[in-house]
Structure 1
Amino acid sequence: MKNQENFILAIESSCDDTSAAVLCNKKVLSNVVATQEIHKKYGGVVPELASRAHQQNIVPVVHQALAQANIDKKQLSAIAFTRGPGLMGSLLVGTSFAKSLALGLNIPLIEVNHMQAHILAHFIEDEAQKAPKFPFLGMTISGGHTQIVLVKDYFDMEILGETLDDAVGEAFDKSAKLLGLPYPGGPLVDKHAKLGDEKAFEFPKPKVPGLNFSFSGLKTSILYFIQKKTKENPEFINKNIDDICASIQFTILEILMDKLKLAVEQTGIKQIAIGGGVAANSGIRDRLENAKNKLGWTTYIPKFAYCTDNAAMIGIVGYLKFLEGDFAKQNVAAKARYKISNSY
């Protein structure tokens, strides 16, 4: 099957983006993402609204993905979908659609762990990125997850450390909200940070043993800092927004890099690959690029399109599982909590 064309339709619906992609083996033919704008006025994702929007978006998104790939659904070899982790209502929409379509077309159904997909997105054949060699350290950084993973093979992964409370993406978004920036605030913090002084203000780094993370304390310290400064000067945020964002981002990136350095020290592995929405952050990309020269690391940074939630990353996992004949049964159910290390 490796030498023939295998067309995989992939569906991603773990949070608030409805996405469908078509892959021919490891190459992406289409990768369509429908972003839900409705959550902006609430300052965060509303699960019930997300699942309703998925129901509205999934048919046109799949139709568009097939049209862009110039593929008829009868040519599909299999359908891959996100089983978890994620919001249960959102996952149910994608899972139900994938199961029904696979049954109707009488083709294999392939379940995919969303977090594995963020890591394996590096194996999509694309001129803009290179694939790491096994073993390597993967760091998944997103709105819902922060993990350091030892990747021994495509489906042999071990979590070395993870967040004990909030995810790094949440720390970015909640900090942005405190500054009056609209949702999603993470990219806006990054934008302002480029214009500011990262040493202007100092925030404490949490003391968490081993390779685990914690961001709740940092969020609290930022809250108290903003409250204190705005009480002294109501115009403080407006006058210092760039410096505040730069200082917040600097602290968060220091936390991430400190843990990565410790992971390299403990494992002896100097191949680092990142994934997840926060992998689009310019600061972490710059840090990893600098680590090549300063620390002797070999770093792998995904293409922007494969950082945030997208179906192409689900498709590459689907293709790799297709080659192994690793298919799901029709009674497969969505899983809101689904760890990388116990996917099987």
Structure 2
Amino acid sequence: MSTTVKAAVFTETGAPPSIQDLVLPDPGPGEVRVRLTAAGVCHSDLSLSNGTLPQPWPAVLGHEGAGAVEAVGAGVTEVTPGQRVILNWAPPCRECWFCAQGEPHLCEHALDRAGRTYAELTDGTPVYPGLGTGAFAEATVVPAHAVVPLPDGVDPAVAAVLGCAVLTGWGAVANSARVREGQSAVVLGLGGVGLSLLQAARLAGADPLIAVDASPAKEELARALGATDFLVADGSLTKAVRALTGGRGADHAFEVVGSAAVVRSAWNATRRGGTVTVVGVGALDDEVSFNALELFHQARTVRGCVYGSSDPARDIPVLAELVRSGGLDLAAMVTDEIPLSGVPEAFERMRQGRGGRSLVRFGA
């Protein structure tokens, strides 16, 4: 038996997707089929489509999704049909060396699924799931441990952003950088992850909290989500940040673009002894350089941040409580609600740096 659904299918690097019929097999042992309610359009999807990140074709991209379990395979006890869930695109195995060290976000097997086909086109062509999830489709089939139950009190229409943008942004603040109340922070890049990070830094008590973006149009939203100051990314950024931080530079800088130039800007905007957290996914050949003297003299820390150093099973209930209490506003980050056919336009908005999160709504 199988299920046929509509999906945005990408067939080659750099080409836009087309809406096609996708044939999903019934879930096998240890698998579940999820009927999607919504899927966020993330910059990592753009990186997969343009070749910045490796991706076999044809593929259904999309990894930030939420929906309801429609069917379960043999042996699945974690979730039941009808249960609302969030997709986890990097499910930890709980057995490898990294998982044993308490670093499930670095699990050796988290992306194993992405390298295997999971469905077919109607002509029998095998299809790969982007980041193992394939969320730009009306439904998907994933391992049971790749879904996390959606806690009560969270609007399922916007819950998809918890699966990547919010986990990554909040985790960068709470798990990776561990921002303390009263520390200054600057956030460079205000897409979906950057806006999530901004909210998390506000919750942590960062002050001043400086938002930076190439687009002046994002100032109003940035301030609404907690920024005390807004700066346009230009050649005066370092001096402007220092002017807002007693001449020292920020205690924390978060790079959320995925660019060597922006990493360098984050470094320059940070005080001696401060911390730069690189959240954006950059290109393999986009190199950052530092001289040996400044590394010694500035005594700064530069750290990478994969998936917010998060464990979705642990952290999503925490985020749900913040949503219920009003601390996190998920809907405010969604600047465009689109049908499945709107994915190409959403990719173009990301390329141009416009808007926050685009959200594909299924069945709306």
TM-score range normalised by the length of the shorter chain: 0.3 to 0.5
Q: Name the structure where strand makes up a greater proportion of residues.
A: 2
Q: Name the structure where helix makes up a greater proportion of residues.
A: 1
TM-score of the superposed pair, with normalisation by structure 2: 0.35
By relative contact order (CA 8 Å, sep 6+), the higher-ranking structure is 1
